[in-house]
Amino acid sequence: MARILIILLALSAAAAPAWADSVIVLNSEDASYSIIDRASRTELQRLPLGREAHHLTRTPDGKELLLASTATNELVSLDTRTLKRVRVVRDIVDPYQLGYSPDGKWFVTAANRLDHVDIYRADNLVLAARLFVDSVPSHLAFDVRSTTVFVSLQNSGRLIAVDLARQTVKWSTDVGKAPAGVVALPDGKRLLVALTGEQSIVTVDAESGAVTGRLETGKAAHNFRALGDGRHYFLSNRIESTISLIDTQDMKVEASVRVPGGPDDMDITPDGKELWVTQRFLRRVAIVDIAKMNLIDTVRVGKSPHGLAILDTAPGAGVPNAEKAGAASAPRLN
């Protein structure tokens, strides 16, 4: 009898989905996404997804994860607890980068191929404005007050600030070669912009758009992820194949770890111990021990993995990890 019970228990455990500690990775050249079990560091499933899916974001209530398929103009929504498809939002044109303003009122996309920034009302995803830009909008970030979205323009080397309420460009500034990742620091005054065509990041005054500083990091500085203490940010350097830990108070590179294969998007586990990084060229996701700043493991996924999100189904899930950790408003950028 005991043996039967053990078998039944084992079977029920095996049947229960292990979604609670999952990581979602978008395989941009495979038209698929991977579901990884975080504990065992294994890919559980690889499922089809539109075409050229690059980035993803949570809805403000944290209940849905929106996977953006650029070539099919759609957002595929997953329930963050069950990972089942909830809905498909169509007619979101070329949603390369996407994000909600911190107050949850606006939803903004950067159409990388079609050269426009779209501002939607977040509650119904109705397009409020389309701003054509010059050119190749790459990454975006919101200010803490949700009044402005900052968008890097990869081809023209510029950063623009768009007033969300008026839906007009407030300023446009030359920042350097091939700007990509951008973050608005919690002080509300400074922006960081990664220059993929150079080996540095620049600081920009959020109000005026003036470039105020520069920090050498690594070749093809590309994307940021907040550590969660309001001060430190991880930066991926795609050609250098390193991750730099930037101290934004003293503006210095505090530590660095080699992550081969063109590291790109990053996310942090809810316990703050691990940094997960997509390795675009190696079809893998790397796991970095944050305390020791060393690479501890990799997980096989699909071709050209790009955006990723670590799910946290504990109470309070949906709030970006960085905010839970105490940052005033660390934007979640993938």
Q: Which residues bind other proteins (CB under 8 A)?
A: 29, 31, 47-48, 50-51, 71-74, 90-91, 93-94, 113-114, 136, 154-155, 177-178, 196-197, 219-220, 238-239, 241, 260-262, 280-283, 304
Q: How many residues does the chain have?
A: 334
Cα first-last separation, the chain: 51
Rounded to a whole number of angstroms, the minimum distance from the CB of residue 267 to other proteins is 21
Using a 10 angstrom Cβ sphere, with 0-12 exposed, 13-18 middle and 19 or more buried, the burial of residue 293 is: middle
CB 50 within 8 A of CB 69: yes
Rounded to a whole number of angstroms, the minimum distance from the CB of residue 52 to other proteins is 9
Sheet containing 137-142: give its strands across: 137-142, 148-153, 158-163, 168-174
Q: Which pair of structure tokens corresponds to residue 112?
A: 């990388």
| Nearest to other proteins of 78, 178 (CB atom) | 178
| Nearest to other proteins of 170, 219 (CB atom) | 219
| Nearest to other proteins of 11, 239 (CB atom) | 239
CB 75 within 8 A of CB 333: no
Using a 10 angstrom Cβ sphere, with 0-12 exposed, 13-18 middle and 19 or more buried, the burial of residue 129 is: middle
Rounded to a whole number of angstroms, the minimum distance from the CB of residue 321 to other proteins is 28
Rounded to a whole number of angstroms, the minimum distance from the CB of residue 72 to other proteins is 5
Rounded to a whole number of angstroms, the minimum distance from the CB of residue 21 to other proteins is 24
The phi, psi pair for 322, rounded to 5°, reads -60, -35
| Nearest to other proteins of 190, 306 (CB atom) | 306
The Cα 278–Cα 307 span in angstroms is 7
| Nearest to other proteins of 232, 283 (CB atom) | 283
